[in-house]
Amino acid sequence: MSPLRFDGQVALVTGVSDFGLGLTYARMLAERGCAVVVNDLGRDWAGNSNAPGTENAVRLISESGGTAIGVTGDVVHESERIVGAAVEAFGRLDIVVNNAGAGGDFDTQVDVHLHGAHRISEAAWPHLSATGAGRILNVASNAVWGSPAMPGYGAAKGAILALNRTQAILGAAAGVRANAVLPAAWTRSTAGIQADGFAEFMQDRFPPEAVGAFAVYLLHRDTELSGEAFTVGGGLVSRVIQAETHGAIAPDTEPESWPALIDQVMAPVDLTVAPTMWAQLDGHARRLGPDAYAQWSAIGIPTTVAAKVGD
């Protein structure tokens, strides 16, 4: 088994606290030769100020023989400065891990999880493109399937899946690949969940290193996957897909037609997984019938991940 090395590369990891996934990503990359820039704002999950995790992370990485610097800052409002500090320190940027998160109200959750991931990626984009093999890891959550609390968190994490797929499309021509993980791990955020036995279960079954191992694989320049999402935890990895059933076609445009057809709409058979929005429309037109598909095909919009309208 050949080691996955990152010698000569530079990674920016946001949301690095005293323990958990951010620190794990940073340490595992550094152990494999990557220079790492760790970022934290210095807020706990409830929004209270605390000491940023950057100083401790840099110490731990350095003591293990790795190379790291810390940049304290807000991923939403200081993304350019954070990315600029990484490039200034090491002269390049190859990898971005969008791990920063927050609790709080709906707007705060969407700001940090979604806007923060977008703004850090946008600021880093010219540098990632310049390498010809830039890598982005976006951290989503199983809250995309619905959460009994924190609607802003679930909404932001769901939006990250769409952001991730779009980054993959936009980055294809420049060799920038983006993937997402929906991790299950013992972290600062899961430590706050109050349920009998939950903390012990997470500590016993879901070490952050199990997520970190797959994350490092996704971030390696030889890994060609892009636009994908995976649930990861405890050594188990599964692909997450957004799919359509085969569906049903109504004979008219009256709402009364649908009671008899809804079971056919809901049946989980002949699932279609579309890599882009245009591929989804292509499949939809195809199922409508030959005339509809011929009209759509005549427009000539490409449906592949790498293509853009006008290419």
**pLDDT reported for residue 308:** 46
pTM here? 0.92
Name the CATH code of domain 10-240 (choices 3.40.50.300, 1.10.1200.120, 3.40.50.720, 3.30.420.40).
3.40.50.720
pLDDT of residue 309: 41
What average pLDDT does range 230-238 have in this prediction? Answer: 94
- Predicted confidence at residue 307, as pLDDT, reads 46
Band of residue 169 on the pLDDT scale cut at 50, 70, 90: very high
Mean pLDDT rounded to a whole number for the chain: 91
Q: What share of the chain is helix, strand, coil (3-state, %, to 5)?
A: 45, 15, 40
Token readout for 279 is 């591929």
pLDDT above 60 for 248:
yes
135, 174 in Cβ contact below 8 A? no
- Express as a percent the part of the chain with pLDDT over 90: 78
CB 186 within 8 A of CB 202: yes
Q: Is residue 311's pLDDT more than 50? A: no
Catalytic site positions: 153
Say if CB 171 and CB 129 are below 8 A apart: yes
Between strands 272-273 and 236-240, the pairing is unpaired
Instruction: Order across the sheet with 35-40: list the strands.
Output: 68-72, 35-40, 10-13, 95-98, 135-139, 177-183, 229-233, 236-240
Mean pLDDT of 213-234: 97
Percent of the chain surpassing pLDDT 70 = 92
